[in-house]
A = this chain, B = another copy of it.
Protein backbone atom coordinates (compact mmCIF):
# COMPACT_ATOMS: atom_id res chain seq x y z
CA UNK A 1 0.00 0.00 0.00
CA UNK A 2 1.19 3.56 -0.58
CA UNK A 3 -0.46 5.61 2.16
CA UNK A 4 1.35 6.77 5.25
CA UNK A 5 -0.47 6.21 8.48
CA UNK A 6 0.39 8.41 11.44
CA UNK A 7 0.72 7.43 15.05
CA UNK A 8 1.50 10.05 17.68
CA UNK A 9 2.18 8.80 21.21
CA UNK A 10 1.98 11.79 23.48
CA UNK A 11 2.56 10.99 27.11
CA UNK A 12 1.25 13.25 29.83
CA UNK A 13 4.10 15.01 31.57
CA UNK A 14 6.80 12.48 31.01
CA UNK A 15 10.10 14.33 31.34
CA UNK A 16 13.16 14.57 29.07
CA UNK A 17 15.14 12.57 31.61
CA UNK A 18 12.66 9.72 32.04
CA UNK A 19 13.98 7.47 29.30
CA UNK A 20 17.09 5.33 29.38
CA UNK A 21 18.13 6.84 26.05
CA UNK A 22 18.03 10.25 27.72
CA UNK A 23 20.07 9.16 30.74
CA UNK A 24 17.56 8.04 33.35
CA UNK A 25 19.86 6.26 35.83
CA UNK A 26 17.64 3.19 36.19
CA UNK A 27 17.47 2.69 32.40
CA UNK A 28 14.14 0.90 32.45
CA UNK A 29 12.80 1.76 29.00
CA UNK A 30 14.27 -0.92 26.72
CA UNK A 31 11.47 -0.60 24.16
CA UNK A 32 11.68 3.15 23.80
CA UNK A 33 15.47 2.93 23.74
CA UNK A 34 15.20 0.36 20.95
CA UNK A 35 12.69 2.58 19.15
CA UNK A 36 15.34 5.30 19.27
CA UNK A 37 18.08 2.98 18.03
CA UNK A 38 15.87 1.98 15.09
CA UNK A 39 14.71 5.54 14.44
CA UNK A 40 15.78 9.07 15.24
CA UNK A 41 16.26 10.64 18.63
CA UNK A 42 15.44 14.34 18.93
CA UNK A 43 17.46 16.01 21.66
CA UNK A 44 16.16 19.54 21.18
CA UNK A 45 12.43 19.00 20.91
CA UNK A 46 9.96 21.24 22.74
CA UNK A 47 6.38 21.62 23.69
CA UNK A 48 4.47 24.82 23.01
CA UNK A 49 3.45 25.34 26.64
CA UNK A 50 4.61 24.03 30.01
CA UNK A 51 1.08 22.80 30.69
CA UNK A 52 -1.11 20.05 29.24
CA UNK A 53 -4.15 21.57 27.49
CA UNK A 54 -2.39 24.39 25.64
CA UNK A 55 0.34 21.97 24.59
CA UNK A 56 -2.22 19.56 23.11
CA UNK A 57 -4.16 22.34 21.43
CA UNK A 58 -0.89 23.42 19.82
CA UNK A 59 -0.05 19.87 18.70
CA UNK A 60 -3.41 19.42 16.97
CA UNK A 61 -3.61 22.92 15.43
CA UNK A 62 0.07 23.55 14.64
CA UNK A 63 -0.34 26.94 16.30
CA UNK A 64 0.86 28.57 19.48
CA UNK A 65 -1.73 28.55 22.28
CA UNK A 66 -1.79 32.34 22.21
CA UNK A 67 -3.13 32.06 18.67
CA UNK A 68 -5.54 29.15 19.06
CA UNK A 69 -7.09 30.57 22.23
CA UNK A 70 -5.67 28.13 24.77
CA UNK A 71 -4.54 30.80 27.21
CA UNK A 72 -5.87 33.18 29.80
CA UNK A 73 -5.78 36.95 30.25
CA UNK A 74 -7.08 36.81 33.82
CA UNK A 75 -3.65 37.68 35.13
CA UNK A 76 -0.18 38.20 33.68
CA UNK A 77 1.81 35.23 32.41
CA UNK A 78 -0.39 32.51 33.85
CA UNK A 79 -0.64 28.89 32.83
CA UNK A 80 -4.19 27.74 32.28
CA UNK A 81 -5.77 24.44 31.30
CA UNK A 82 -9.16 22.76 31.08
CA UNK A 83 -10.41 21.73 34.50
CA UNK A 84 -13.99 20.47 34.80
CA UNK A 85 -15.42 23.92 35.35
CA UNK A 86 -13.83 25.53 32.31
CA UNK A 87 -16.35 27.14 30.01
CA UNK A 88 -14.11 27.38 26.94
CA UNK A 89 -12.50 24.86 24.66
CA UNK A 90 -11.16 24.49 21.17
CA UNK A 91 -12.85 27.11 18.93
CA UNK A 92 -14.70 25.90 15.83
CA UNK A 93 -12.58 28.29 13.83
CA UNK A 94 -9.47 26.23 14.54
CA UNK A 95 -8.57 23.54 12.02
CA UNK A 96 -7.34 20.39 13.70
CA UNK A 97 -5.00 17.85 12.15
CA UNK A 98 -7.67 15.12 11.99
CA UNK A 99 -10.12 17.47 10.25
CA UNK A 100 -7.58 18.02 7.51
CA UNK A 101 -6.51 14.38 7.29
CA UNK A 102 -10.12 13.30 6.94
CA UNK A 103 -10.26 14.98 3.57
CA UNK A 104 -7.45 12.68 2.43
CA UNK A 105 -9.31 9.58 3.50
CA UNK A 106 -7.74 9.10 6.90
CA UNK A 107 -9.64 7.49 9.75
CA UNK A 108 -8.73 9.29 12.96
CA UNK A 109 -8.85 7.99 16.48
CA UNK A 110 -7.95 9.53 19.80
CA UNK A 111 -7.22 7.20 22.69
CA UNK A 112 -6.85 8.82 26.09
CA UNK A 113 -7.04 12.40 27.26
CA UNK A 114 -8.59 14.99 24.96
CA UNK A 115 -8.01 18.06 27.10
CA UNK A 116 -9.45 20.58 24.64
CA UNK A 117 -12.79 21.20 26.38
CA UNK A 118 -15.48 18.85 27.61
CA UNK A 119 -18.68 20.70 26.68
CA UNK A 120 -20.64 19.27 23.72
CA UNK A 121 -19.36 21.70 21.08
CA UNK A 122 -15.76 20.75 21.91
CA UNK A 123 -16.25 16.99 21.50
CA UNK A 124 -13.32 15.46 19.55
CA UNK A 125 -15.71 13.83 17.07
CA UNK A 126 -16.87 17.35 16.17
CA UNK A 127 -13.27 18.29 15.45
CA UNK A 128 -12.21 15.65 12.99
CA UNK A 129 -11.78 12.49 15.03
CA UNK A 130 -13.85 9.49 13.96
CA UNK A 131 -13.37 7.48 17.11
CA UNK A 132 -12.57 8.20 20.72
CA UNK A 133 -11.84 6.09 23.71
CA UNK A 134 -10.89 8.13 26.73
CA UNK A 135 -11.79 11.09 28.83
CA UNK A 136 -12.05 14.84 28.32
CA UNK A 137 -10.19 15.83 31.52
CA UNK A 138 -7.48 14.56 33.83
CA UNK A 139 -8.24 11.51 35.95
CA UNK A 140 -8.34 13.42 39.22
CA UNK A 141 -10.57 11.99 41.94
CA UNK A 142 -12.32 10.16 43.38
CA UNK A 143 -15.01 12.80 43.78
CA UNK A 144 -18.29 12.52 45.63
CA UNK A 145 -20.50 13.40 42.64
CA UNK A 146 -21.97 16.25 44.73
CA UNK A 147 -19.35 19.00 44.91
CA UNK A 148 -17.63 17.49 41.88
CA UNK A 149 -18.62 14.73 39.48
CA UNK A 150 -16.19 11.95 38.64
CA UNK A 151 -14.64 12.30 35.20
CA UNK A 152 -16.46 10.41 32.45
CA UNK A 153 -14.84 7.95 30.05
CA UNK A 154 -16.19 8.13 26.51
CA UNK A 155 -16.46 5.68 23.70
CA UNK A 156 -17.04 7.84 20.65
CA UNK A 157 -20.04 10.11 21.21
CA UNK A 158 -21.15 8.85 24.59
CA UNK A 159 -19.82 8.20 28.02
CA UNK A 160 -19.53 4.55 29.05
CA UNK A 161 -18.65 5.08 32.70
CA UNK A 162 -16.68 7.21 35.11
CA UNK A 163 -13.22 6.98 36.64
CA UNK A 164 -13.11 5.42 40.09
CA UNK A 165 -16.61 3.99 39.51
CA UNK A 166 -16.46 1.93 36.31
CA UNK A 167 -12.77 2.42 35.61
CA UNK A 168 -10.95 1.71 38.83
CA UNK A 169 -7.94 3.61 40.04
CA UNK A 170 -6.78 2.52 43.48
CA UNK A 171 -5.33 5.62 45.09
CA UNK A 172 -3.72 3.58 47.87
CA UNK A 173 -1.85 1.02 45.80
CA UNK A 174 -1.67 2.97 42.53
CA UNK A 175 -3.21 0.04 40.69
CA UNK A 176 -5.26 0.69 37.55
CA UNK A 177 -5.35 -1.29 34.32
CA UNK A 178 -6.12 1.74 32.16
CA UNK A 179 -2.87 1.60 30.19
CA UNK A 180 -3.69 -1.99 29.26
CA UNK A 181 -7.13 -0.88 28.06
CA UNK A 182 -5.60 1.99 26.05
CA UNK A 183 -3.05 -0.45 24.59
CA UNK A 184 -5.74 -2.90 23.51
CA UNK A 185 -7.74 -0.06 21.95
CA UNK A 186 -4.69 0.92 19.94
CA UNK A 187 -3.90 -2.62 18.79
CA UNK A 188 -7.52 -3.23 17.78
CA UNK A 189 -7.76 0.04 15.87
CA UNK A 190 -4.53 -0.65 14.01
CA UNK A 191 -5.70 -4.18 13.12
CA UNK A 192 -9.04 -2.86 11.87
CA UNK A 193 -7.38 -0.23 9.72
CA UNK A 194 -4.87 -2.68 8.32
CA UNK A 195 -7.70 -5.07 7.44
CA UNK A 196 -9.70 -2.34 5.71
CA UNK A 197 -6.62 -0.89 4.00
CA UNK A 198 -7.53 2.63 5.09
CA UNK A 199 -4.88 5.09 6.22
CA UNK A 200 -5.20 6.13 9.84
CA UNK A 201 -4.14 8.76 12.32
CA UNK A 202 -3.95 7.43 15.85
CA UNK A 203 -3.39 9.92 18.63
CA UNK A 204 -2.44 7.82 21.64
CA UNK A 205 -2.65 10.32 24.51
CA UNK A 206 -2.26 8.20 27.58
CA UNK A 207 -1.89 9.52 31.09
CA UNK A 208 -0.44 6.98 33.54
CA UNK A 209 2.50 9.27 34.31
CA UNK A 210 0.22 12.14 35.36
CA UNK A 211 -0.66 12.30 39.05
CA UNK A 212 -2.45 10.28 40.39
CA UNK A 213 0.10 7.96 38.77
CA UNK A 214 -1.01 4.38 38.16
CA UNK A 215 0.15 1.06 36.75
CA UNK A 216 -1.49 -2.31 36.29
CA UNK A 217 -0.83 -5.15 38.71
CA UNK A 218 1.75 -6.87 36.51
CA UNK A 219 3.94 -3.75 36.61
CA UNK A 220 3.42 -2.58 40.20
CA UNK A 221 6.62 -2.77 42.22
CA UNK A 222 8.79 -3.67 39.23
CA UNK A 223 10.68 -0.39 38.93
CA UNK A 224 13.64 0.90 40.90
CA UNK A 225 11.92 4.26 40.69
CA UNK A 226 8.76 3.44 42.60
CA UNK A 227 5.22 3.88 41.30
CA UNK A 228 6.16 6.52 38.74
CA UNK A 229 8.73 4.12 37.30
CA UNK A 230 6.17 1.31 37.26
CA UNK A 231 3.96 3.53 35.08
CA UNK A 232 6.87 4.32 32.78
CA UNK A 233 7.71 0.63 32.45
CA UNK A 234 4.15 -0.20 31.51
CA UNK A 235 4.07 2.55 28.90
CA UNK A 236 7.43 1.41 27.55
CA UNK A 237 6.17 -2.13 27.32
CA UNK A 238 2.99 -0.96 25.58
CA UNK A 239 4.82 1.06 22.98
CA UNK A 240 7.03 -1.93 22.30
CA UNK A 241 3.88 -4.00 21.72
CA UNK A 242 2.38 -1.38 19.39
CA UNK A 243 5.54 -1.23 17.27
CA UNK A 244 5.75 -5.03 17.13
CA UNK A 245 2.10 -5.12 16.11
CA UNK A 246 2.77 -2.77 13.21
CA UNK A 247 5.66 -4.99 12.15
CA UNK A 248 3.63 -8.18 12.49
CA UNK A 249 0.86 -6.70 10.33
CA UNK A 250 3.45 -5.68 7.76
CA UNK A 251 2.61 -1.97 7.93
CA UNK A 252 5.56 -0.61 9.88
CA UNK A 253 7.05 0.83 6.70
CA UNK A 254 3.75 2.60 6.03
CA UNK A 255 3.35 4.07 9.48
CA UNK A 256 5.15 7.13 10.78
CA UNK A 257 5.34 6.91 14.56
CA UNK A 258 6.32 9.80 16.79
CA UNK A 259 6.76 9.63 20.55
CA UNK A 260 6.83 12.69 22.78
CA UNK A 261 5.30 14.36 25.83
CA UNK A 262 3.14 17.41 26.48
CA UNK A 263 5.15 19.18 29.17
CA UNK A 264 8.14 18.61 31.39
CA UNK A 265 8.03 16.31 34.39
CA UNK A 266 6.07 17.68 37.33
CA UNK A 267 8.92 17.99 39.82
CA UNK A 268 6.43 19.21 42.37
CA UNK A 269 5.04 15.66 42.43
CA UNK A 270 8.46 13.97 42.39
CA UNK A 271 9.71 11.51 43.31
CA UNK A 272 6.56 9.46 43.98
CA UNK A 273 4.24 11.01 41.38
CA UNK A 274 6.56 12.90 39.09
CA UNK A 275 9.37 12.14 36.70
CA UNK A 276 12.70 13.61 35.72
CA UNK A 277 13.88 16.37 33.42
CA UNK A 278 17.45 15.13 33.50
CA UNK A 279 19.83 17.99 34.13
CA UNK A 280 17.45 20.64 32.87
CA UNK A 281 16.19 23.39 35.14
CA UNK A 282 12.83 23.13 36.93
CA UNK A 283 9.78 21.37 35.54
CA UNK A 284 6.16 21.61 34.46
CA UNK A 285 4.61 25.09 34.80
CA UNK A 286 7.90 26.86 34.03
CA UNK A 287 9.54 28.12 30.87
CA UNK A 288 12.94 26.82 31.91
CA UNK A 289 14.21 23.87 29.89
CA UNK A 290 12.83 21.36 32.38
CA UNK A 291 9.33 22.66 31.78
CA UNK A 292 9.38 22.55 28.00
CA UNK A 293 12.09 20.34 26.54
CA UNK A 294 10.62 16.92 25.75
CA UNK A 295 11.82 13.44 24.97
CA UNK A 296 11.10 12.75 21.30
CA UNK A 297 11.63 9.80 18.97
CA UNK A 298 10.62 9.38 15.33
CA UNK A 299 10.30 5.81 14.01
CA UNK A 300 9.57 4.72 10.49
CA UNK A 301 11.53 1.65 9.38
CA UNK A 302 12.79 1.86 5.83
CA UNK A 303 12.45 5.64 5.75
CA UNK A 304 14.27 7.02 8.79
CA UNK A 305 17.92 5.95 9.05
CA UNK A 306 18.40 3.80 12.17
CA UNK A 307 20.24 5.25 15.13
CA UNK A 308 20.00 8.85 14.03
CA UNK A 309 20.40 11.68 16.48
CA UNK A 310 19.06 15.11 15.59
CA UNK A 311 19.69 18.55 17.02
CA UNK A 312 16.88 20.02 14.95
CA UNK A 313 14.91 22.43 17.11
CA UNK A 314 11.50 20.80 17.07
CA UNK A 315 8.14 21.51 18.61
CA UNK A 316 4.94 19.54 19.12
CA UNK A 317 3.34 21.99 16.65
CA UNK A 318 5.59 20.53 13.96
CA UNK A 319 3.72 17.25 14.22
CA UNK A 320 0.75 19.04 12.64
CA UNK A 321 2.73 20.33 9.68
CA UNK A 322 4.91 17.26 9.30
CA UNK A 323 1.92 14.91 9.39
CA UNK A 324 0.16 16.91 6.70
CA UNK A 325 3.30 16.82 4.61
CA UNK A 326 3.66 13.05 4.98
CA UNK A 327 -0.01 12.67 4.03
CA UNK A 328 0.58 14.77 0.93
CA UNK A 329 -1.52 17.68 2.19
CA UNK A 330 -0.89 21.39 2.43
CA UNK A 331 -1.28 23.28 5.71
CA UNK A 332 -4.13 25.81 5.70
CA UNK A 333 -3.09 29.03 4.00
CA UNK A 334 -5.55 31.35 5.72
CA UNK A 335 -3.83 31.53 9.09
CA UNK A 336 -0.45 31.64 10.78
CA UNK A 337 0.92 28.14 11.36
CA UNK A 338 3.81 27.95 13.84
CA UNK A 339 4.74 24.33 13.20
CA UNK A 340 7.22 23.54 10.47
CA UNK A 341 7.59 20.49 8.25
CA UNK A 342 10.26 18.39 9.93
CA UNK A 343 10.44 15.77 7.20
CA UNK A 344 13.75 17.06 5.78
CA UNK A 345 15.22 16.79 9.30
CA UNK A 346 13.74 13.36 9.87
CA UNK A 347 14.36 11.82 6.47
CA UNK A 348 17.52 13.56 5.27
CA UNK A 349 19.10 14.72 8.51
CA UNK A 350 18.87 18.38 7.50
CA UNK A 351 18.89 21.19 10.04
CA UNK A 352 16.24 23.86 9.61
CA UNK A 353 16.87 27.21 11.26
CA UNK A 354 13.90 28.25 13.41
CA UNK A 355 13.33 29.76 16.83
CA UNK A 356 11.51 28.24 19.82
CA UNK A 357 9.16 30.49 21.79
CA UNK A 358 8.40 29.86 25.46
CA UNK A 359 5.05 31.26 26.55
CA UNK A 360 3.12 31.53 29.76
CA UNK A 361 -0.37 32.79 28.93
CA UNK A 362 0.07 35.54 26.36
CA UNK A 363 3.51 36.53 27.61
CA UNK A 364 6.56 35.44 25.64
CA UNK A 365 8.82 34.53 28.53
CA UNK A 366 11.81 33.31 26.53
CA UNK A 367 13.09 32.46 23.09
CA UNK A 368 15.70 30.03 21.81
CA UNK A 369 17.70 30.78 18.68
CA UNK A 370 20.37 28.23 17.84
CA UNK A 371 22.09 27.25 21.07
CA UNK A 372 21.19 30.51 22.81
CA UNK A 373 18.16 31.11 24.99
CA UNK A 374 17.09 34.56 26.12
CA UNK A 375 14.71 35.02 29.06
CA UNK A 376 12.60 38.17 28.75
CA UNK A 377 10.66 37.33 31.88
CA UNK A 378 11.58 34.98 34.71
CA UNK A 379 9.17 33.40 37.19
CA UNK A 380 8.76 30.05 38.82
CA UNK A 381 5.85 30.81 41.12
CA UNK A 382 4.84 33.37 43.74
CA UNK A 383 6.40 33.68 47.17
CA UNK A 384 2.94 33.05 48.57
CA UNK A 385 2.72 29.66 46.87
CA UNK A 386 6.38 28.85 47.44
CA UNK A 387 6.03 29.53 51.15
CA UNK A 388 3.31 26.86 51.22
CA UNK A 389 5.79 24.34 49.85
CA UNK A 390 4.76 24.53 46.18
CA UNK A 391 8.14 24.31 44.46
CA UNK A 392 8.51 23.85 40.70
CA UNK A 393 12.32 23.72 41.01
CA UNK A 394 13.04 21.56 44.06
CA UNK A 395 16.71 21.61 44.98
CA UNK A 396 17.43 23.74 41.91
CA UNK A 397 17.26 27.34 43.02
CA UNK A 398 19.35 29.53 40.72
CA UNK A 399 19.56 32.99 42.17
CA UNK A 400 18.10 35.63 39.86
CA UNK A 401 16.80 32.97 37.46
CA UNK A 402 14.18 30.84 39.21
CA UNK A 403 12.59 33.97 40.66
CA UNK A 404 9.50 34.05 42.86
CA UNK A 405 8.43 37.43 41.62
CA UNK A 406 7.74 38.10 37.97
CA UNK A 407 10.97 39.71 36.84
CA UNK A 408 11.05 41.67 33.61
CA UNK A 409 14.24 41.51 31.58
CA UNK A 410 12.92 42.89 28.30
CA UNK A 411 15.66 45.49 27.93
CA UNK A 412 18.50 43.19 29.03
CA UNK A 413 17.37 39.59 28.67
CA UNK A 414 19.12 36.85 30.64
CA UNK A 415 21.10 34.95 28.05
CA UNK A 416 22.24 31.32 28.32
CA UNK A 417 24.27 29.07 26.02
CA UNK A 418 22.39 25.78 26.20
CA UNK A 419 25.28 23.74 24.84
CA UNK A 420 27.79 24.78 27.49
CA UNK A 421 25.13 25.29 30.11
CA UNK A 422 22.02 23.18 29.51
CA UNK A 423 20.99 23.67 33.14
CA UNK A 424 20.56 27.48 32.76
CA UNK A 425 22.84 28.17 35.71
CA UNK A 426 25.33 30.62 34.23
CA UNK A 427 23.88 33.69 32.49
CA UNK A 428 26.26 35.35 30.04
CA UNK A 429 27.77 38.61 31.16
CA UNK A 430 25.85 41.60 29.79
CA UNK A 431 29.10 43.28 28.85
CA UNK A 432 30.61 40.37 26.93
CA UNK A 433 31.05 40.54 23.16
CA UNK A 434 29.18 37.26 22.92
CA UNK A 435 26.15 38.77 24.68
CA UNK A 436 26.08 41.83 22.47
CA UNK A 437 26.41 39.88 19.26
CA UNK A 438 23.85 37.22 20.11
CA UNK A 439 21.31 39.63 21.55
CA UNK A 440 21.27 41.51 18.28
CA UNK A 441 20.38 38.33 16.40
CA UNK A 442 17.74 37.29 18.91
CA UNK A 443 16.18 40.76 19.10
CA UNK A 444 15.49 40.68 15.38
CA UNK A 445 13.72 37.32 15.71
CA UNK A 446 11.64 38.54 18.64
CA UNK A 447 10.73 41.78 16.96
CA UNK A 448 9.46 39.98 13.90
CA UNK A 449 7.51 37.50 16.03
CA UNK A 450 5.82 40.20 18.07
CA UNK A 451 5.06 42.39 15.07
CA UNK A 452 3.03 39.62 13.44
CA UNK A 453 1.40 38.21 16.57
CA UNK A 454 -2.40 38.35 16.61
CA UNK A 455 -3.67 36.64 19.75
CA UNK A 456 -6.81 34.54 19.48
CA UNK A 457 -9.84 34.94 21.72
CA UNK A 458 -8.77 33.59 25.11
CA UNK A 459 -10.72 30.42 25.95
CA UNK A 460 -9.49 29.80 29.47
CA UNK A 461 -10.80 32.84 31.32
CA UNK A 462 -14.21 31.74 32.54
CA UNK A 463 -15.09 28.92 34.93
CA UNK A 464 -18.52 27.71 35.98
CA UNK A 465 -19.39 24.75 38.17
CA UNK A 466 -22.54 24.24 36.13
CA UNK A 467 -20.55 23.10 33.09
CA UNK A 468 -18.83 20.22 34.87
CA UNK A 469 -19.26 16.64 33.69
CA UNK A 470 -22.61 16.23 35.46
CA UNK A 471 -24.60 14.79 32.60
CA UNK A 472 -22.42 13.86 29.65
CA UNK A 473 -24.14 12.35 26.59
CA UNK A 474 -25.04 8.74 27.28
CA UNK A 475 -25.35 9.23 31.04
CA UNK A 476 -29.07 8.42 30.97
CA UNK A 477 -28.44 4.91 29.57
CA UNK A 478 -26.14 4.22 32.49
CA UNK A 479 -28.24 5.94 35.13
CA UNK A 480 -25.25 8.18 35.77
CA UNK A 481 -26.70 11.62 35.11
CA UNK A 482 -26.14 14.09 37.89
CA UNK A 483 -27.91 17.39 38.51
CA UNK A 484 -25.77 20.43 37.83
CA UNK A 485 -25.73 23.36 40.25
CA UNK A 486 -27.00 26.75 39.16
CA UNK A 487 -24.83 28.54 36.64
CA UNK A 488 -22.39 30.95 38.28
CA UNK A 489 -19.70 31.96 35.79
CA UNK A 490 -16.54 33.44 37.31
CA UNK A 491 -13.08 34.35 36.31
CA UNK A 492 -10.97 31.22 36.68
CA UNK A 493 -8.21 31.55 39.26
CA UNK A 494 -4.82 30.70 37.79
CA UNK A 495 -2.21 31.02 40.52
CA UNK A 496 0.90 30.43 38.38
Bitwise interface map of A from 18 to 29 toward B, beta carbon under 8 Å scored 1, else 0 = 001111111100
Interface presence of A272 (CB below 8 A): yes
Bitwise interface map of A from 413 to 451 toward B, beta carbon under 8 Å scored 1, else 0 = 000011111110110000000000000000000000000
* B395 in contact with A20 (CB, 8 Å): no
* B309 in contact with A20 (CB, 8 Å): yes
With the chains together, A397 CA to B398 CA distance in Å?
9
With the chains together, A395 CA to B272 CA distance in Å?
23
Across-interface contacts of A251 in B (CB, < 8 A): none
* B394 in contact with A425 (CB, 8 Å): yes
Interface presence of A223 (CB below 8 A): yes
Give this chain's copy count: 2
Across-interface contacts of A425 in B (CB, < 8 A): 271, 394-395
Interface presence of A65 (CB below 8 A): no
CB distance from A120 to the nearest CB of B (A): 42
With the chains together, A309 CA to B423 CA distance in Å?
27
Q: How many residues of A contact B (CB 8 A)?
A: 45
Interface presence of A225 (CB below 8 A): yes
Across-interface contacts of A224 in B (CB, < 8 A): 311, 371, 419-420
Interface presence of A260 (CB below 8 A): no
Interface presence of A37 (CB below 8 A): yes
CB distance from A25 to the nearest CB of B (A): 5
Across-interface contacts of A397 in B (CB, < 8 A): 395, 397
CB distance from A236 to the nearest CB of B (A): 14
Q: Quick one: which of A30-57 are within 8 Å of B by CB?
A: 37, 41, 43-44
Across-interface contacts of A348 in B (CB, < 8 A): none
CB distance from A389 to the nearest CB of B (A): 12
Interchain residue pairs A-B with the least CB separation, the first 3: A23-B23, A224-B419, A226-B420
CB distance from A432 to the nearest CB of B (A): 13
With the chains together, A272 CA to B418 CA distance in Å?
12
Across-interface contacts of A461 in B (CB, < 8 A): none
Besides A271-B420, A278-B278, A395-B397, 15 more A-B contacts (Cβ < 8 Å) are A16-B25, A23-B24, A25-B43, A25-B44, A27-B43, A37-B37, A224-B311, A224-B419, A224-B420, A226-B417, A226-B419, A270-B421, A276-B279, A281-B395, A395-B396
* B420 in contact with A225 (CB, 8 Å): yes
Interface of A is mostly: loop
With the chains together, A129 CA to B228 CA distance in Å?
49
* B422 in contact with A25 (CB, 8 Å): yes
Interface presence of A229 (CB below 8 A): yes
CB distance from A260 to the nearest CB of B (A): 16
Provide 20 A-B residue pairs closer than 8 Å at the C-beta atoms, listed in order of the A residue: A16-B25, A25-B280, A25-B422, A26-B311, A27-B41, A27-B309, A223-B419, A224-B371, A224-B420, A225-B419, A228-B420, A229-B420, A270-B421, A271-B426, A272-B420, A276-B279, A278-B279, A279-B279, A395-B423, A397-B397
Interface presence of A17 (CB below 8 A): yes
CB distance from A21 to the nearest CB of B (A): 8
Across-interface contacts of A276 in B (CB, < 8 A): 279, 422
CB distance from A204 to the nearest CB of B (A): 25
With the chains together, A16 CA to B223 CA distance in Å?
21
With the chains together, A37 CA to B36 CA distance in Å?
13
With the chains together, A420 CA to B280 CA distance in Å?
18
Q: Which residue of B lies closest to A25 (CB)?
A: B422
CB distance from A433 to the nearest CB of B (A): 15
* A25 in contact with B278 (CB, 8 Å): yes
* B420 in contact with A23 (CB, 8 Å): no
Across-interface contacts of A272 in B (CB, < 8 A): 420
CB distance from A3 to the nearest CB of B (A): 33
Q: Which residue of B lies closest to A223 (CB)?
A: B419
With the chains together, A311 CA to B24 CA distance in Å?
13
Q: Quick one: which of A270-298 are within 8 Å of B by CB?
A: 270-272, 276, 278-281
CB distance from A280 to the nearest CB of B (A): 8
